[in-house]
């Protein structure tokens, strides 16, 4: 069918539905996304759009006439602003929209649910097409659902096996195209009716084995998905008394093999009762995890309830399933008190911990995808957008970015400044947090403030002080998709630090407080603040922030004399007016626009399991996650130069991993080295001086202070740390007259660093 515009019906509907899929991700489409989230339907998994009813606004009559011809628009008697204008009503206005396809896979029909009107009946544009599509010719099991929502929910659950297909009726009505489509399937072995048996369809295929999935009274398949998750649907399908498909005859040997396999334990799986209760059937009994799982990947602290298999007795315990000592003590305690087999309980808990960890990863990924999709759209001048895209498309991108950073006020620190730029930009993808550590006056604040200026100003939050309760009082998406800069982390009190690190790990904060209702009665209320951000912070005392250090990438500022001379030279040139400030501003604007034009693609790294960090690194679990996220960010900024797969994901290359190792290595080393960056640099400079006089030379604090040009307080702190860590010892002297020290650790870290770096490079080279 050709419309008056010359476009076919399929072309018009394809263009229209594309605009609907864009609409579901628009900043203003909070209500439709919320509607879908409540029904556990994800636009990233299914073809779903949103019709705001405005696609024809500000369009000419020729454009509208094409959609009038196919029934999407109808002329209305509603009043208009100007004489000669026409008013239209729109199909599925303010509705969630699904496409129906013909045999060629083209959109020929639309199904809409209007979400603002209570009890509004679902609408079909016409009677063409099938949802979700025409079944594959080699389908083996075909599930027939009464409604399109039931079919979408079954697809969303992802419980169907290879060879399974779903077909939705027209809200309970069997059409001729359903029958014709089923007749064309060559290898169909079984028809499974979901919710209601279709007598007419059974009559059409009398020789085809069929079965019936009975839904609980008053429930739809979507209710099952919402209340019982995919595990509940899987269990429902398993428990259904489905007709068995005839199997070809097998010989005795094959029969014995099948009998052996049938006696094997079923696949281990979680039973999701609700968001506060997760079950698992083990050897020793039935386990329930009560409450919500912590988003801190470093532990698995849960309230574990065990109902013993034989006695039915209930045991409840708060335990960290990742802590082997706690688990063993718990198992031994159960054996002593109840006679339970400790080995069985320990095996159950190991399986449960693995399943919970995978479940938590999925939940975190889901929440992060939702936050990313709600990121406000940012617009820039078309010419500047083209300039930014061109810049991001050129070779040696990170070297070019580093050069622009150098033009904008950062001298030296080549690795640190590029790493900081990439980490800061992760607020749009997988947030990373950086803690810059150095002695006072070494330039750490200048470094993070300059990097801050390379991010879009509308996405930056700059704090010089954070009070203990302030983080709990932000509203809506105030802390979503933001870069947070804290000038001095030492200024945060203990409660503010706790709130900040919980926001880093969990991506949200939940506080409980007391308020009065309208009758002035006290009642408890909970408030949630979503917090999806990257951060740059600075400190002179990293060792006192152990919990925060584990969540952050630690980098140290170059405190060498050569770097000091570079900084002083730059300062003098700026004061003398020799710096082109206009050029600096242009570089900053270009780098900001580069972040703005990057599209929120997902990144897939197929080499992730091929790179292993040194096992001796401290806090390796979090460090590995940070490193993998950093690799993905390197790929993400190269999105205009990388392959995109059929699922719309950017593919990581070995070159991205090599670049990540180059930039991230110092951060890895600081998690291996016992000394922090400032103390390590001080110690290496001191050893270089002492070697000139022999390794047995003794020295005083005053001597080293004068040679290295250090303040008395800073030198004292470094000596105190080195003495405590047994890198130096007291050779002679007293507290009153002063001490003579000697170095006890002469091992060269340079060789160790190089060895670890070469091991990482060898892993990267094996990927090529």
Using 50, 70 and 90 to split pLDDT, how confident is the model at 762?
very high
Q: How many CA atoms lie within 13 A of 406 on its CB side?
A: 12
Instruction: Please report the pLDDT score of residue 420 as a whole number.
Output: 92
In eight-state DSSP terms, residue 530 is E
Give the model confidence (pLDDT) of 53-100 as tens digits. 888 887 888 888 899 999 999 988 777 666 667 888 899 999 999 999
Q: Do residues 405 and 591 make contact, with C-beta atoms less than 8 angstroms apart?
A: yes
Burial label for 446, CB within 10 Å (0-12, 13-18, 19+), is: middle
Which structure tokens are listed for 623? Answer: 């460090």
Angle formed at CA 728 by CA 490 and CA 732, multiple of 5 degrees? 120
Using 50, 70 and 90 to split pLDDT, how confident is the model at 322?
confident
CA dihedral 129, 130, 136, 141 (to 10 degrees): -160
Which residue is listed with tokens 């995808």? 369
Share of residues in the chain with pLDDT > 70 (%)? 91
- Kindly tell me if the per-residue pLDDT of 20 is higher than 70: yes
Lowest mean pLDDT among 2-6, 152-156, 172-176, 730-734: 2-6
* Averaged pLDDT, 373-382: 58
| CATH number for domain 1-128, candidates 3.90.980.10, 3.40.50.1000, 1.10.150.120, 3.40.640.10 | 3.90.980.10
Buried b (16+ CB within 10 A) or exposed e, 189-220: ebbbbbbbebeebeeeeeebbbbebebeeeeb
Do 382-600 and 1-128 have the same topology in CATH? no
Using 50, 70 and 90 to split pLDDT, how confident is the model at 129?
very high
The Cα–Cα gap between 386 and 384 comes to 5
Instruction: Please report the pLDDT score of residue 497 as a whole number.
Output: 85
Give the model confidence (pLDDT) of 192-241 as tens digits. 999 888 889 998 998 899 999 988 887 899 988 988 888 888 888 877 64
Give the model confidence (pLDDT) of 439-484 as tens digits. 777 777 888 888 999 999 889 999 888 888 888 888 878 889 999 9
Instruction: Please report the pLDDT score of residue 742 as a whole number.
Output: 92
Which structure tokens are listed for 452? Answer: 């801050």
Which structure tokens are listed for 99? Answer: 């496409």
Which among 429, 438, 414, 526 is positioned nearest to 483, based on CA atoms? 429
- CATH class name, domain 382-600: alpha beta
Q: Quick one: angle between helices 61-69 and 9-24, nearest 10?
A: 110
- Kindly tell me if the per-residue pLDDT of 518 is higher than 60: no
Using 50, 70 and 90 to split pLDDT, how confident is the model at 261?
very low
Higher-confidence position of 47 and 296:
47
* Averaged pLDDT, 599-616: 89
Q: For the chain, what's the residue count?
A: 768
Give the model confidence (pLDDT) of 583-597 as tens digits. 888 899 999 999 999
Instruction: Please report the pLDDT score of residue 332 as a whole number.
Output: 84
Angle formed at CA 37 by CA 34 and CA 38, multiple of 5 degrees? 90
Which structure tokens are listed for 747? Answer: 């091992």
Give the model confidence (pLDDT) of 621-665 as tens digits. 888 899 999 999 999 999 999 999 888 899 999 999 999 999 999
How many C-beta atoms lie closer than 10 Å to residue 65's C-beta? 14
- Kindly tell me if the per-residue pLDDT of 251 is higher than 70: no
Instruction: Please report the pLDDT score of residue 243 as a whole number.
Output: 38
Which among 434, 429, 549 is positioned nearest to 485, based on CA atoms? 434
Instruction: Please report the pLDDT score of residue 315 as a whole number.
Output: 86
Higher-confidence position of 546 and 262:
546
Using 50, 70 and 90 to split pLDDT, how confident is the model at 370?
low
Q: Do residues 622 and 297 make contact, with C-beta atoms less than 8 angstroms apart?
A: yes
CA-based end-to-end distance of the chain: 52
Q: Do residues 284 and 344 make contact, with C-beta atoms less than 8 angstroms apart?
A: yes
β-bridge pairing 522-539 and 479-486: parallel
Share of residues in the chain with pLDDT > 90 (%)? 31
The Cα–Cα gap between 373 and 530 comes to 14
pTM exceeds cut of 0.95: no
Which structure tokens are listed for 681? Answer: 């640099």
Higher-confidence position of 444 and 393:
393
Mean pLDDT, all residues of the chain: 84
Instruction: Please report the pLDDT score of residue 257 as a whole number.
Output: 31
Give the model confidence (pLDDT) of 701-720 as tens digits. 999 999 888 888 889 988 99
| Sign of the Cα pseudo-torsion (734, 735, 739, 743, in order) | positive
* Averaged pLDDT, 418-440: 89
Instruction: Please report the pLDDT score of residue 84 as a whole number.
Output: 63
- Kindly tell me if the per-residue pLDDT of 254 is higher than 60: no
Would you identify the CATH topology of the domain 677-752? Arc Repressor Mutant, subunit A (1.10.10)
* Averaged pLDDT, 543-555: 71
Which structure tokens are listed for 103? Answer: 């045999």
Q: Do residues 134 and 181 make contact, with C-beta atoms less than 8 angstroms apart?
A: yes
* Averaged pLDDT, 377-398: 85
Q: Where do the domains of the chain lie?
A: 1-128, 271-373, 382-600, 677-752
Give the model confidence (pLDDT) of 476-510 as tens digits. 788 899 999 988 887 788 888 888 888 888 888 88
Instruction: Please report the pLDDT score of residue 26 as a whole number.
Output: 81
The Cα–Cα gap between 215 and 227 comes to 13
Higher-confidence position of 137 and 312:
137
In three-state secondary structure terms, 391 is: helix
């Amino acid at each position: 069918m050709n419309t008056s515009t010359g476009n076919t019906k399929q072309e018009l509907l394809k263009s229209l539905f594309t605009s609907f899929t864009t609409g579901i991700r628009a900043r203003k489409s909070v209500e439709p996304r919320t509607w879908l989230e409540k029904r556990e339907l994800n636009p990233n998994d299914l073809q779903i759009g949103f019709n705001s009813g405005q696609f024809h606004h500000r369009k000419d009559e020729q454009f509208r006439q094409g959609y009038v011809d196919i029934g999407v628009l109808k002329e209305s008697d509603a009043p208009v602003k100007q004489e000669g204008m026409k008013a239209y009503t729109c199909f599925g206005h303010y509705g969630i929209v699904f496409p129906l396809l013909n045999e060629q896979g083209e959109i020929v029909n639309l199904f809409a649910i209007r979400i603002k009107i209570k009890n509004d009946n679902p609408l079909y544009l016409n009677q063409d097409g099938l949802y979700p599509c025409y079944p594959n010719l080699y389908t083996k099991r075909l599930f027939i659902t009464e409604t399109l929502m039931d079919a979408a929910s079954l697809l969303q659950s992802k419980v169907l096996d290879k060879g399974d297909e779903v077909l939705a009726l027209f809200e309970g009505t069997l059409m001729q195209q359903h029958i014709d489509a089923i007749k064309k399937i060559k290898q169909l072995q079984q028809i499974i009716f979901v919710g209601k048996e279709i007598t007419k369809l059974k009559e059409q295929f009398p020789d085809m084995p069929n079965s019936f999935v009975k839904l609980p009274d008053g429930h739809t398949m979507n209710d099952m998905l919402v209340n019982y998750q995919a595990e509940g649907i899987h269990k429902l399908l398993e428990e259904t008394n489905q007709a068995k498909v005839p199997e070809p005859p097998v010989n005795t040997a094959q029969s014995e093999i099948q009998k052996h396999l049938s006696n094997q334990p079923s696949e281990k799986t979680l039973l999701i009762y609700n968001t506060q209760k997760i079950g698992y059937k083990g050897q020793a009994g039935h386990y329930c995890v009560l409450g919500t799982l912590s988003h801190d990947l470093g532990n698995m602290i849960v309230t574990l309830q065990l109902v013993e298999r034989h006695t039915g007795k209930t045991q409840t315990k708060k335990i960290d399933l990742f802590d082997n000592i706690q688990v063993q003590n718990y198992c031994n305690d159960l054996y002593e008190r109840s006679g339970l087999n400790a080995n069985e309980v320990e095996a159950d808990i190991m399986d449960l911990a693995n399943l919970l960890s995978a479940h938590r990863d999925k939940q975190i990924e889901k929440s992060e995808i939702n936050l990313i999709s709600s990121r406000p759209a940012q617009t820039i001048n078309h010419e500047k957008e083209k300039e930014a895209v061109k810049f991001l498309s050129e070779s040696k991108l990170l070297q070019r970015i580093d050069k622009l950073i150098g033009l904008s006020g950062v001298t030296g620190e080549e690795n640190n400044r590029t790493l900081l730029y990439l980490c800061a930009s992760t607020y749009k993808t997988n947030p990373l947090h950086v803690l810059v550590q150095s002695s006072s006056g070494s330039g750490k604040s200048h470094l993070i403030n300059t990097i801050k200026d390379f991010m879009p100003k509308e996405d930056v939050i700059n704090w010089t002080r954070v009070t203990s309760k302030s983080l709990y009082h932000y509203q809506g998406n105030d802390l979503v998709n933001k870069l947070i800069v804290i000038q001095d982390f030492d200024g945060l009190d203990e409660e503010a630090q706790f709130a900040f690190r919980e926001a880093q790990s969990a991506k949200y904060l939940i506080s409980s407080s007391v308020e009065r209702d309208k009758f002035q009665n006290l009642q408890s209320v909970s408030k949630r603040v979503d917090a999806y951000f990257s951060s740059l912070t600075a400190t002179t005392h990293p060792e006192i922030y152990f919990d925060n250090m584990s969540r952050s990438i630690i980098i140290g500022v170059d405190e060498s004399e050569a770097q000091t001379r570079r900084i002083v030279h730059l300062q003098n040139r700026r004061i003398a007016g020799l710096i082109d400030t206009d050029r600096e501003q242009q570089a900053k604007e270009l780098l900001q626009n580069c972040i703005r034009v990057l599209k929120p693609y997902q990144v897939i790294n197929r080499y992730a399991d091929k790179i292993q960090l040194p096992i001796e690194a401290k806090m390796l679990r979090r460090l590995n996650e940070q490193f993998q996220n950093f690799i993905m960010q390197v790929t993400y900024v190269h999105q205009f130069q990388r392959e995109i797969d059929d699922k719309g994901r950017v593919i990581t290359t070995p070159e991205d991993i090599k670049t990540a190792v180059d930039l991230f290595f110092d951060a890895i080393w600081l998690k291996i080295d016992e000394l922090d960056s400032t103390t390590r640099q001080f110690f290496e400079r001191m050893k270089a001086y002492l070697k000139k006089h022999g390794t047995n030379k003794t020295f005083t604090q005053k001597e080293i202070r004068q040679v290295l040009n250090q303040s008395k307080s800073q030198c004292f702190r470094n000596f105190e740390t080195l003495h405590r860590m047994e890198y130096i010892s007291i050779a002679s002297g007293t507290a009153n007259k002063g001490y003579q020290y000697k170095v006890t650790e002469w091992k060269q870290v340079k060789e160790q660093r190089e060895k670890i770096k070469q091991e990482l490079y060898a892993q990267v080279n094996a990927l090529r």
